[in-house]
Amino acid sequence: MVNLLQFDRDGLAAWCEQQGEKPFRATQLFRWMHQRGVADFGAMSDLAATFRDKLRAAAVIAPLPVASEQVASDGTVKWLFDVGGGDAVETVFIPEPGRGTLCISSQAGCAVNCRFCATGHQGFSRNLSSAEIVAQLWHAEFALRRRLSLAPGERAVTNVVMMGMGEPLQNYAALLPALRTMLDDHGYGLSRRRVTVSTSGVVPMIDRLRDDCPVALAVSLHAPDDALRDDLVPLNRKYPIAELLAACRRYLERAPRDFVTLEYCMLDGVNDSAGHAAALLALVSNDGAAGRPGLACKINLIPFNPFPQSELKRSPPARVAEFAAVLQAGGIVTTVRRTRGDDIAAACGQLAGEVQDRTQVAARRERAMAIVVAPPASRRRGALGTQPGQRA
Ligand code: SF4
């Protein structure tokens, strides 16, 4: 059985053709799925009975099982989805006046291993499929429409950020159809400006995304120089800051927004001094004398969300304010992310990590140890789950 959530509209049209159906049937089916949230083929009243029979025989519209749901007093909702094999992924809905943002996961675990990230600490388990990425939006949109009693045509999710668990650009093949489904006017109809891909800096795939499906771009920077970023975001050893910023400038040639968002997690005593702020300002500022073109950007300062194994601490609010003031005085639009859903607080990836701790982590570590000792490098790379563009 094929899960139809995996297809963008072109993919669904190709599949319908294989079933002997005209491509326009795919548009009807796509609208039932993604505009009305219908999973029962029998309820799709404008499809021919013969087509519905074919669908029942060959396909499903399979949502992800919900392992848990938490609702904070400020309306933030956090779902934990069971993706099988002892893995779980998180999806978070953040309501604000006039908009609702959904933060979606792209992988179970993550291979990048950023020091400040609970997901990175778990290691990499596997890529999510396109269906599993879209299923997070599908569930959130239609569960919230029902809960909030929205009028027909009213949307719960107005913005999507690919900023949950995983590095989306290391799961590009699954990401692309999922993005296209989000943007499709017969699907969720989100504008490119309202869909953001956040990356730790997989430079070649930033270029691919620019060519294939330019949406808003956020980059997890977290440090103003390579020495510190090598430590905080190990992928920097493969794609250092100068290459990353050059890729961002190329991206802006086709991006729907005229700036890149730089994410900067504020870590007490690590990257949060006035000197770091000055270095960051210099990095993104145009300096012809130094041969540095700068970068059109906004900077988002993120209060660190501590988790037990991190050995890192959140910067005090006064230091965050000083840091922001240095950037703002230099003309850089700088925001400090508000913490949301405090009463269900957990660092991104922490809930899923707790599930894994009860199930998979010990076994996975044993497997990884066995892999490290035994086979040749090519097999080791695949088995450990690193991806093209990833430092092994
Ligand atoms: S911050 Fe993002 S890229 Fe880094 S380990 Fe966490 S999920 Fe992976």
pLDDT score for 357 = 54
User: How far is the centre of ligand 1, averaged over its atoms, from the C-alpha of 229 (Å)?
Assistant: 13
Is 16 a catalytic site residue?
no
Same domain as 325, residue 256? yes
Of the chain, the end-to-end C-alpha distance in Å amounts to 35
Burial pattern 193-232, b for ≥16 Cβ within 10 A else e, equals ebbbbbbbbbbebbeebbeebbbbbbbbbbbbeeebbbbb
Best of 122, 162, 167, 231 for a ligand 1 pocket test (most atoms within 8 Å of beta carbon): 167
State the alpha helices, DSSP H only, in 213-312. Answer: 226-232, 241-252, 274-284
Regarding whether 108 and 30 lie in a shared domain, the answer is: no
CA–CA separation, 118 vs 128, rounded Å?
18
CATH code where residue 315 lies = 3.20.20.70
Among residues of the chain, what percentage have pLDDT more than 70? 87
Are residue 40 and residue 84 in the same domain, yes or no? no
* Percent helix, percent strand, percent coil in the chain, to nearest 5: 45, 20, 35
Confidence of residue 350 (pLDDT cuts 50, 70, 90): low
Ligand 1: residue whose CA is nearest its atom 4: 114
Whether residue 44 sits in one domain with residue 148: no
348 catalytic, yes or no? yes
Rounded CA-CA distance 285/283 in Å is 6
Tokens for 232, please give them: 């905080």
Q: In this structure, which residue's CA is closest to atom 7 in ligand 1?
A: 166
- List, for residues 7-40, the tens digit of each pLDDT value: 999 999 999 999 999 999 999 999 999 999 999 9
pLDDT of residue 305: 87
One domain, residues 76 and 207: yes
Q: Is the distance from the beta carbon of residue 174 to the nearest atom of ligand 1 less than 6 Å?
A: no
Ligand 1 atom nearest 164 alpha carbon: 7
Count of structural domains within the chain: 2
**272 and 197 co-located in one domain:** yes
**Based on the domain organization, do 41 and 75 belong to the same domain?**
no
Q: Are residues 103 and 20 in the same domain?
A: no
pLDDT tens, residue by residue, 242-264: 999 999 999 999 999 999 999 99
Q: Is 112 in the pocket of ligand 1 (CB under 6 A)?
A: yes
CA of 44 to the centre of ligand 1 (A): 40
Residue 33 lies inside a defined structural domain of this protein? yes
Is the CB of residue 154 less than 8 Å from the CB of residue 121?
A: no
Whether residue 165 has its Cβ less than 6 Å from ligand 1: yes
Shared domain for 139 and 32, answered yes or no, is: no
User: Which atom of ligand 1 is closest in space to residue 121's alpha carbon?
Assistant: 5
Mean pLDDT of 62-85: 95
Residue, of 45 and 305, whose pLDDT is higher: 45
pLDDT value at 384 more than 90: no
How many A from CA of 304 to the centre of ligand 1? Answer: 13
Nearest in space to 286 (alpha carbons), one of 225, 221, 332: 332
Residue 267 lies in a domain: yes
Same domain, 193 and 155: yes
In this structure, the answer to whether residues 126 and 272 fall within a common structural domain is yes
Please tell me the predicted confidence (pLDDT) of residue 369.
Answer: 37
Residue 139: which domain range? 66-358
Confidence of residue 50 (pLDDT cuts 50, 70, 90): very high
Partners of 162 in the β-ladder: 197
Q: How confident is the model at residue 188 (pLDDT cuts 50, 70, 90)?
A: very high
Asked if the model's pLDDT at residue 361 lies above 60, the reply is no
